[in-house]
Amino acid sequence: SYELTQPPSVSVSPGQTARITCSGEALPKKFVYWYQQKSGQAPVMVIYEDNKRLSRIPERFSGSASGTMATLTISGAQVEDEADYYCYSAGISGNPSFGPGTKLNIL
Amino acid sequence: EVRLVESGGTWVQTGGSLRLSCVASGFNFSNYWMSWVRQAPGQGLEWVGRIKDRADGETTHYAAPVKGRFTISRDDSTKMLFLEMNSLRGEDAGVYYCTTETQYWGHGTLVTVSP
């Protein structure tokens, strides 16, 4: 199956910028989606097609992609942003995969 | 309001079968590719499989661990998505989500598999 790589955890203080990376060999050709999952809840899409954001998602969430890496940036992270974040993308063969997830700690 | 509501999750013995259902409302279900995603206890998200819409032939695709054992189907007239699971294994246990793989997700239904 197609493999996406994410760091296990990222820690920032409230108000700082958090960056979560996702790497995969097909990313130059496939869109990346980012999901936020809080404990005991269903995932919520925060970024789609590399860098687009639905209107209900706070503006502090942004996405970018370059080459084989995509980045989710949370500018001015809030305590309520503490969650697991997953990247998601399709491999060259077509079947999609989720990354292993990154736990964002707001200390 | 968009809703996806899964049902059918329960305890099942290893080797057994189970059928999960998902009913959709609030969006044009027939125009969407629909998928199942699962999450084992304490683990990450895992894509299970997908069924495309009628325009794309309702083609199905499955993740390698479930291919040949799981079958996804849909009924656009009732806005329902199904997941037929056979030869269940311990590693199939977890919460199963019905989703459009984008902004719409259900709250999940729990499948427990034990000897």
Under an 8 A CB cutoff, do B45 and A42 touch?
no
- pLDDT digit string, tens, across residues B64-109: 999 999 999 999 999 999 999 999 999 999 999 999 988 899 999 9
Q: Which residues have C-beta within 8 Å of that of residue B68, sequence separation ≥ 6? A: B62
Instruction: Say what the pLDDT of residue A92 is.
Output: 78
Blockwise average pLDDT, block size 10, chain A, 107 residues: 92 98 93 97 96 95 97 97 96 88 97
Cβ–Cβ below 8 Å for A84 and B44: yes
Q: What is the DSSP letter of A68?
A: T
**Which residue, B97, B93, B96, is CA-closest to B11?**
B93
Tell me how far apart the alpha carbons of residues A45 and A37 are, in angstroms, rounded to a whole number: 9
Q: Which pLDDT score, from 0 to 100, does residue B58 have?
A: 97
Question: Which residue's structure tokens are 């479930």?
Answer: B66
Nearest CA in chain B to A55: B103
Q: How far is B81 from chain A (nearest CA, A)?
A: 18
Report d(CA B74, CA B31) in Å as an integer: 12
Nearest chain B CA: its distance from A31 CA (Å): 12
To test the contact with chain B by mutation, choose from A9, A50, A87, A88 the residue with the greatest count of B C-beta atoms within 10 A, namely: A88
Which 8-state DSSP code applies to residue B54?
G
Sheet of B34-39, strand order: B11-13, B109-114, B94-99, B34-39, B45-51, B60-62
What does chain A come to in residues? 107
Please check whether residue B108 is in contact with residue B20, taking contact to mean a CB–CB distance below 8 angstroms: no
